[in-house]
Each structure stands twice: as C-alpha cells, then as structure tokens.
C-alpha cells in the first residue's frame, strides 16, 4: 500500500511494488514523482527525512537535510544589507544545501544492501522524467498557491519562466511541463545521486547558485552526506482493539522537530479526562495544552543536534514528561504567546508485502521555497535557511555549516499486538499536532485511518496558508465544541470545511494478520492505493 497527497505519486510507488520492488524503492519513485507534480510543496532542491520500519521490526532513519554554506555568516548578510531577519525569498534565502537527493541515494543503497533491491535509478525516476517532459495537470492547490504568492515571487530569478504562463498563474487542469528538470532527473538517473553533490551536475549548480546571489558554493555541495540515524522513541498506552496495550513511537532526531511529536503524545498519555470522543472539546483541549508545553521546550532547546546543549532523548524521559503533564490544567487554557512557523511540505507512506514500511517527508519550506529556479538545471531551491536567526543568543542562530531547525518530521509506530503504522502530515507547526490527532483517533478511538483523517481538524498557531496564532477549528465541528473551548479560555477562530490550512495527512496501518488499512487527505490531491 502507498499513500501520498498526489495520486500520481501513489501510483508510482504502487507500480514499483507490483514489479517486485520493496518499500524503499517504491518511496524513491514516489518522491521523484511528487517533486515534479506538486512543485509548490516540494522539489529536488529541498530536504527530506526517512523513518524506516526494517526487517524484523528494526527501525532506522535517514537525515537528508542540508547545512548552511560555509560563507553563510552573519557578516555575509550584513555586507548585503541584511541586519535583522534573513529574507524568505531570493538568492540570499537559498543558503542551505538541498539534501533530499542524498536521501534517495542512501535509501537506494540500503535497499540493495539489506533488502535485495535490484531496481536501477533509471526505473525509479522514469515516471518523474516522463511527467516533467510531457507534462502533468496543474492542481487547484498549485494554481491557488501561485496566485497567492505571485507578488512576492514573480521577480525572483527563474520563477516566472518556470511557473507562470504569459506572466500569469497557470489554470487548474492545464498542462505543466518542466523540460530542464526532466534533463536533470535523466542525468541523476544515469550518473547516480552523487552527481548532485560531487559530479558534473554539482559543478553546474554551484555556478548557477553563484549567479543568483546564493552563498552556497561547490565545497558546500561536495561536503554534504545523508546521515543514517537512530530515530528517537517513546512508549504510550493505546486503547483501540486489536491494538490495545502499548505502542512504541518513533520519529526523527533534530534538526527535525520529531521529538516534539513524541512529546505531545507522551504528555497526552499522562493526562486524564480527554477520551470523550474523537471530535470532543476535551480531546482538543488536552492536545492543545500538550502542544503548548512541547512548543515551549522546543523553542528553548531544538536546533542542529551538533549544537544542542541538551540530549534530545532527555526531553522524552518519563520524569520530564510527568512534570510537563502535571503543569497542565484540564479546566483552563494556558497562555499562548508563541509565534509558530508556517511551511508547506509533502508526507508519504509505503508498506510492502514483507512489512517493510517507510514514513517519508520532503519539503522546500515555504511555497516554492526561495523562489529561485536555477537557469540550466531547472532546480527550484529551498529557503529552509531563512528559519535561522541573526541573533547570536538565539538557539537557532546562524553559523556556517549548521543545519537549520526543521518543522519536518515523520511518524512510525509499532504496537504490542504486532501491528504497525506510518503516518504524517504537511503544514509547518501543524505537523506534530495533526500527527497526534490522527494517531489518537485510530489508536484511542478505533477510527479507520480514512475516518481519522476525514474528521474535522484543529490547529494551534500558524501553519501553511494561515498566519494567525489562534486555535483554528474547521466549521464542521459542532457549535457546542466551539462554545466549550472558548469557555476554557481558548482564542478560537473558525475556518471553512476541508480548508487546506489544516494540512495534508496520510496513514497506513498494517495489522498483525497482514491486513492493510490506509487513509489519504481529501484536502489534497492524493490517494491511498493498495493491491
């Protein structure tokens, strides 16, 4: 089974599985396809993270995020008139290496080493190459995003010629072709993923990046490597049948905010009085208060793990979670003054016949990233580095060769019953909240994954497409829920039904008997496909 926020990506994964490929090979194919057909959400110029349920239930991860260029210092920005905040757009925003291609390469190597994978990159990238050459239909999401961000992006080098039609946003349903990107993908398929960092392609991109004013240089691409890591983990109780008992949860290490997703569920595991229903005010209140507690810890401690002063695993120690949970009131909302982070992303999941599963996330941060599209290679470069602070006292202060804090994280669970789950969402700070929502609805309230995703959702703070820091609820919740939450002291804002601001979620559950259940988000253009 495969689930993706664009049906063509899910189809790419399923076709690989049908041909005898494994979950890692299927995900590489899906990742390449979605980088082509959902360009406002992700590209090969972005970052990625993998959490993998391997043979025998052994869990591993791939950190395919890039660091800032060695020239990217505070003084470099000061010399260019940037004093307070790194711009979101343009060449100066393209200050971190794009790591996602290195993740594809690491996953391909793992597949060959440990899973008997035999499919060449030329096969795994074939769909993406075809769609970039011959075109894919513009989604309503891409058309709306292009229109919404047109003013700030139209003059960025390479954007208009790549994403506009006669200087106007494309119409939904029109054919979108990317011939330069097709040639770059063909090159990667032929020369391997190493060419992106230490081959002829890297030399070309270094020249292109210099021309658009990026601080990245050839040495920054050359020194990048995807890192294989052990994900962080915690254990929570689950109530649903047949998964009752306990579940061990896994998520990505920093600079990902995976620890935040684990903290929220760990705190909720310690709270009482929220099991009234999957759409109840009590459930929402408990999760929102757990989110506030976890965000405060995140903002004080999370950054590139090489720069952290506290071990990420210490944030998941039972005594620490006990303390955070004890500070939460189920009768009153705590103050909320945090300024959370937006971001757009894609999450995808694949589970193969052997139970090997991948929870995967890939992003360029804001819509269309920096907006820069390199003139010859056709790569749209991310702006993840704009999340750095120029304040030397800030936990995420800019330093050369440092990875920026990432909202990206991908969830995986193993249940004592023998079932397993991969799940995730796009949407900046909405990601850990939506993960907690859909996990709890399935594992605490016995929802089917599709039902859990389709129920109305909520989000605290900013997310993709929404800039306010309120508690946002879809209008499909009952009036009593709105009234109860306001009575508890929450600043509630009503959004329309099926609003994309609540992210694109997905999930696959593999039961102990081998039965697969999946769900995709109707807010996206996705699909959950099994065979």
Active site (catalytic) residues: 345
Residue with tokens 């711009």: 87
251: enclosing H helix or E strand? strand 245-251
Render the burial of 8-41: b for 16+ CB within 10 Å, e for the rest: bbbbbbbbbbeeebbbbbbbbbbbbbbbbbbbbb
* DSSP summary character for residue 90: S
Q: How many CA atoms lie within 13 A of 442 on its CB side?
A: 30
Which parts of 121-221 are beta strand (E)? Answer: 136-137, 175-176
Please tell me whether residue 250 adopts helix, strand or coil conformation. Answer: strand
- Quickly count helices (H) and strands (E) in the chain: 19, 18
The verdict on whether omega for the bond into residue 480 sits within 30 degrees of 0, i.e. cis, is: no
Report angle CA 270, 275, 280 to the nearest 5 degrees: 125
Residues contacting 203, CB < 8 A, separation 6+? 218
| Distance between CA atoms of residues 176 and 179, nearest Å | 10
The gap from C-alpha 56 to its chain's centroid, in whole angstroms, comes to 26
Which helix H or strand E contains 266, and what residues bound it? helix 258-268
213 Rama sector, left if φ>0, alpha if ψ -120 to 50, beta otherwise: left
* Unique residue bearing structure tokens 């099991």: 275
- In residues, how long is the chain? 531
Give bridge partners of residue 458 from the DSSP assignment: 473
Helix (H, G, I), strand (E, B) or coil at 308: coil
Beta strand pairing call for 420-425 and 136-137: unpaired
> d(Cα 307, Cα 398) in Å, to the nearest integer?
11
Terminal-residue alpha carbon distance, the chain: 7
List all residues 6 or more positions away from 216 whose beta carbon is below 8 Å from its beta carbon.
69, 71, 72, 94, 95, 96, 97, 206, 209
3-state SS, 322-357, equals HHHHHCCCCCCCCCCCCCCCCCEEEEEEEECCCCCE
Record the tokens describing residue 468, joined without a space. Answer: 């306010």
Do the bridges between strand 527-529 and strand 505-510 make them parallel or antiparallel, or are there none, so unpaired?
unpaired
Q: Do strands 492-495 and 471-474 pair parallel, antiparallel, or not at all (unpaired)? A: parallel
């Amino acid at each position: 089974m495969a689930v993706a926020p664009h049906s063509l990506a899910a189809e790419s994964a399923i076709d690989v599985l049908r041909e005898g490929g494994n979950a890692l090979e299927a995900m590489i194919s899906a990742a390449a396809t979605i980088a082509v057909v959902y360009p406002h959400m992700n590209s090969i110029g972005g970052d990625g993270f993998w959490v993998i349920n391997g043979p025998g239930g052994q869990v591993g991860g791939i950190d395919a995020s890039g660091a800032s260029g060695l020239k990217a210092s505070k003084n470099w920005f000061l010399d260019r008139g940037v004093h307070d905040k790194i711009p979101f757009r343009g060449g100066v925003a393209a200050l971190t290496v794009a790591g996602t291609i290195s993740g594809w390469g690491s996953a391909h190597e793992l597949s060959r080493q440990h899973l008997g994978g035999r499919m060449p990159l030329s096969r795994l990238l074939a769909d993406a190459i075809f769609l970039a050459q011959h075109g894919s239909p513009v989604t309503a999401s891409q058309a709306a995003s292009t229109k919404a961000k047109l003013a700030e992006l139209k003059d960025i080098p390479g954007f208009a010629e790549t994403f506009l039609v006669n200087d106007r946003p494309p119409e939904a349903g029109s054919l979108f072709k990317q011939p330069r990107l097709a040639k770059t993908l063909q090159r990667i398929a032929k020369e391997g993923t190493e060419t992106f960092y230490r081959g002829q392609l890297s030399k070309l991109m270094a020249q292109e990046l210099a021309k658009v004013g990026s601080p990245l240089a050839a040495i920054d691409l050359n020194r990048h490597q995807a890192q294989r890591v052990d994900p962080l983990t915690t254990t929570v109780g689950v109530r649903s049948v047949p998964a009752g008992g306990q579940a061990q949860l896994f998520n990505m290490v920093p600079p990902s905010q995976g620890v935040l997703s684990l903290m929220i569920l760990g705190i909720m595991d310690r709270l009482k009085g929220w099991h009234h229903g999957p759409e109840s005010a009590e459930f929402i209140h408990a999760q929102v208060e757990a989110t506030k507690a976890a965000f405060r810890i995140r903002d004080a401690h999370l950054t590139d793990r090489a720069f952290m002063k506290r071990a990420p695993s210490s944030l998941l120690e039972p005594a620490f979670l006990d303390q955070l949970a004890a500070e939460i009131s189920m009768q009153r909302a705590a103050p909320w003054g945090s300024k959370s982070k937006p971001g757009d992303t894609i999450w995808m999941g694949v589970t193969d016949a052997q139970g090997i599963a991948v929870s995967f996330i890939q992003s360029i941060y804001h819509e269309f990233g920096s907006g820069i599209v390199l003139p010859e290679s056709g790569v749209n470069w991310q702006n993840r580095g704009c999340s750095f602070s120029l304040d030397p006292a800030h936990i995420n202060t800019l330093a050369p060769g440092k990875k920026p804090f990432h909202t990206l994280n991908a969830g995986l669970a193993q249940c004592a019953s023998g079932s397993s789950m991969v799940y995730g969402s796009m949407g900046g700070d909405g990601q850990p909240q939506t993960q907690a929502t859909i996990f709890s609805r399935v594992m605490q309230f016995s929802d089917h994954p599709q039902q859990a995703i389709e129920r109305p959702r909520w989000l605290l703070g900013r997310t993709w497409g929404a800039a306010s820091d309120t508690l946002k609820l879809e209008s499909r919740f009952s009036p009593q829920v709105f009234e109860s939450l306001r009575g508890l002291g929450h600043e509630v804002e009503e959004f329309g039904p099926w609003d994309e601001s609540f992210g694109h979620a997905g999930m696959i559950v593999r039961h102990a008997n081998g039965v697969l259940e999946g769900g995709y988000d109707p807010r996206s253009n996705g699909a959950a496909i099994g065979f």
